[in-house]
Amino acid sequence: MSDASLPATETGGELIATLRRPPRKDKRALRNSFWRMVAMVHPHRRAMTLGVLLGLGVALTYAASLGGLLPVLKVVVEEQNVNSYLLERAQRAPAMLAPLLSGLAQIFPTEDSPAARMTTLLILLGALLGVNVIGNGLRCLSQYLVLYASNRMVMDLRRRMYRKALHVPMTRLTSDHANAVSAFMSDVREVFLGIVTLFGKVAREPLKAVCVLAVACFIDLRLTLIAGGIALPAVLILWIVGRGVRKATVRMLQGYAAMLRSLEESLQGIDTVKGYAREGHERVRMWRLERGMMRHQLRLAWIESFSSPLLETLGVLAASAGIVWLASRTFAGEITPSHFITMVILLGAILDPIRKVANVYNVVQRSGAAADRIFGFLDEAEQRSAAGAIELRGDRSPEVRFEHVHFRYSPDAAPALRDVSLTVRAGECVAIVGPNGSGKSTLLKLLPRLLEPQEGGVLLDGVDVREVQLRSLRERVAVVSQRPVIFARSARENIAYGNPTATDEEVRAAARRAYAAEFIEAWPQGYDAALGEFGASISGGQRQRIAIARAFLKPSTILIFDEATSEIDAESEGRIHAALQELRRGKTTFLIAHRHTVMEMADRLIVMDGGRIVDTGTHAELIERCPLYVALYRSPEA
């Protein structure tokens, strides 16, 4: 719990306004994010490269199967002998292709009888079927390898994101963890689709168009004029559409994060929502967010729906011009009907991959926008140990000293701590008291470096905690928070969380010392019982006793205990305090106290208000001279 005032949560209207005004990004930065996304495939380059090469095989077999229609039409429509046709083409072909065409001619019969033509037709259809089977086999392997490499890349990306989430300063995630969760889910999904599309279809579809174009040029070189005529307008359309897709995708992903944040707030505070009869308000607030996000989704849908038909119309116009040109040559007797039919089929086959590339380009643009958000998160500074940091050794409790500490949660927020100085002797137990927002929890979060002071420092035995290895420091501090975090795992796993090597007997012993064994062992599944999300299946007192058992297992020299102010009955409170008395032995202990029993447990009391220490002393001293302490001690909560 943070006692300082945090920045207010954005309202639905503010969130929608934010979505309408996405931050402008430098084009170079966006391109850099895209290529960084592509570079993530490098560790899996063998599978991806093989998948792309097999895609080339798919394109070649696709073009070969279409090119094979010409001899079929020659046999069926014109009753031409394929043997003589291939020998004639071999005489006019380049020297490199002539031997191949001559060799193929020997496969077919030389006679012109109906039986010979049927034999020729069966040979051609068998060859086309074989090419088709090979092409589909290559396509299956290509798609599997591309998906394999893409899934491995996404696993690596999520691993990097999770590692980053665990190492960035705590304020980065506590202020907006819904946005981080959205990045894990929605943004990574967009990147996955982009990589699969880029290496699957972007590599395969243009290759198909190029291979078919090569076959068409082999049959009629002048067809290249038609292909060139549609290439430049198509590229221009894709570029304009891509810009719109990228902007709309950024807004849509921001909308996902905003909606997730609102949903999480409503569900976590469902008791408050229901208690204040605010179901209607929350429903309207969510509807406004959804409406704002829907606007961006529809804009994206319109762009994607518009681009493909536009390119297709452009292709039909070009194809129509090509058909008119080919028909005029057919009418003039320059080409045969079978030649005309084959060229029309090839022209359509060239346009089909180009039409598919329009949708592919949109998907890649969306993934580029998602990648920019992801790498923006991955590039954030991590909280690390300083070079040459000291490793804490020994099991002696240290002296803790706060020296002129100042802290703000954000540059424009009010100070949460103002020039706080405090020395706690080794093994001493101090209780920090004060009204809500006085800075008690904030001060103690500086000790394990969950927060970093803007001014001043925290020292252990005279050594600044910033000069101590972060892991070594945190291993020495046991924290029992006001609202203990209970993971959706078994009771055994929750207790052993701070000491994974603990044996079952050590776990049971810790539970007994924390007075948790009495209810855990009464459960049918005992220590294997799942505790539910955030410990929802157990009471507040049981959650805190499990947290104390966890602290018993951790070999710590400093204890921070934040007393719960609610959800604890008198019986549970007595057991918690008895466990706490034993847990604090031999440790430098900080208690955030609200009740008499905890205040009286301390060797010394620290009174805070407005981010400052206003008085220190024993209970007897403070009750005589500190009006704030008197008010706190005599309050109903105490």
Q: What pLDDT is recorded for position 30?
A: 67
Confidence of residue 2 (pLDDT cuts 50, 70, 90): very low
Q: What CA–CA distances, in Å, run from 155 to 40, 52, 149, 202?
A: 11, 21, 10, 22
Domains and CATH numbers, the chain: 12-378 (1.20.1560.10), 487-555 (3.40.50.300)
Pick the closest to residue 97 from 205, 213, 217 (CA basis): 217
Confidence of residue 591 (pLDDT cuts 50, 70, 90): very high
Q: What pLDDT is recorded for position 579?
A: 87
Q: Range with the lowest mean pLDDT among 4-18, 192-206, 236-250, 414-428? A: 4-18
Integer Cα distance of 313 and 599 in angstroms:
80
- Mean pLDDT of the region 1-17: 40
pLDDT at 27 over 50: yes
Q: What pLDDT is recorded for position 4?
A: 38
More confident site: 260 or 42: 42
Confidence of residue 1 (pLDDT cuts 50, 70, 90): very low
pLDDT at 221 over 70: no
Quick one: how far is CA 78 from the chain centroid? 60
Confidence of residue 32 (pLDDT cuts 50, 70, 90): confident
Query: Which residues 6+ apart lie within 8 Å of 392 measured at CB?
Result: 460, 468, 469, 472, 473, 475, 476
Q: What pLDDT is recorded for position 406?
A: 95
Q: What pLDDT is recorded for position 358?
A: 62
Tokens 């403070």, residue?
622
Confidence of residue 185 (pLDDT cuts 50, 70, 90): confident
CB atoms within 10 A of CB 107: 13
- Mean pLDDT of the region 596-606: 86
DSSP conformational letter for 525 = T
Q: What pLDDT is recorded for position 578?
A: 85
DSSP lists the bridge partners of residue 463 as 460
Q: Range with the lowest mean pLDDT among 127-131, 156-160, 183-187? A: 183-187
Q: What pLDDT is recorded for position 189?
A: 83
Query: Which residues 6+ apart lie within 8 Å of 283 measured at CB?
Result: none
pLDDT at 431 over 80: yes
Confidence of residue 291 (pLDDT cuts 50, 70, 90): confident
- Residues above pLDDT 90, as percent of the chain: 16
Integer Cα distance of 178 and 233 in angstroms:
42
pLDDT in tens, 499-514: 888 899 999 999 999 8
- Mean pLDDT of the region 55-59: 83
Amino acid type, 334: E
pLDDT at 17 over 50: no
CB atoms within 10 A of CB 10: 15
Which segments of 266-399 are extended strands (E)? none
Integer Cα distance of 53 and 48 in angstroms:
9
Integer Cα distance of 70 and 598 in angstroms:
93
Q: What pLDDT is recorded for position 188?
A: 83
- Mean pLDDT of the region 521-549: 84
Q: Is 151 left (phi over 0), alpha (psi -120 to 50) or beta?
A: alpha
pLDDT at 33 over 50: yes
Q: What pLDDT is recorded for position 225?
A: 57
Integer Cα distance of 442 and 408 in angstroms:
10
Angle between helices 279-331 and 12-20 (to 10 degrees): 20
Q: Range with the lowest mean pLDDT among 27-31, 341-345, 381-385? A: 27-31
Q: Which H or E run includes 404? A: strand 400-407
The greatest distance separating any two alpha carbons of the chain, rounded to the nearest whole angstrom, comes to 124
pLDDT at 242 over 70: no
More confident site: 247 or 438: 438
Q: What pLDDT is recorded for position 166?
A: 79
SS3 annotation, 18-83: HHHCCCCCCHHHHHHHHHHHHHCCHHHHHHHHHHHHHHHHHHHHHHHHHHCHHHHHHHHCCCCCHH
Confidence of residue 20 (pLDDT cuts 50, 70, 90): very low
Pick the closest to residue 517 from 525, 507, 531 (CA basis): 507
More confident site: 54 or 297: 54
pLDDT at 178 over 90: no
Integer Cα distance of 303 and 289 in angstroms:
22
Tokens 């050594």, residue?
463
Q: What CA–CA distances, in Å, run from 496 to 395, 503, 507, 541, 572?
A: 20, 9, 6, 19, 22
Integer Cα distance of 393 and 304 in angstroms:
61
Q: Range with the lowest mean pLDDT among 9-18, 103-112, 425-434? A: 9-18
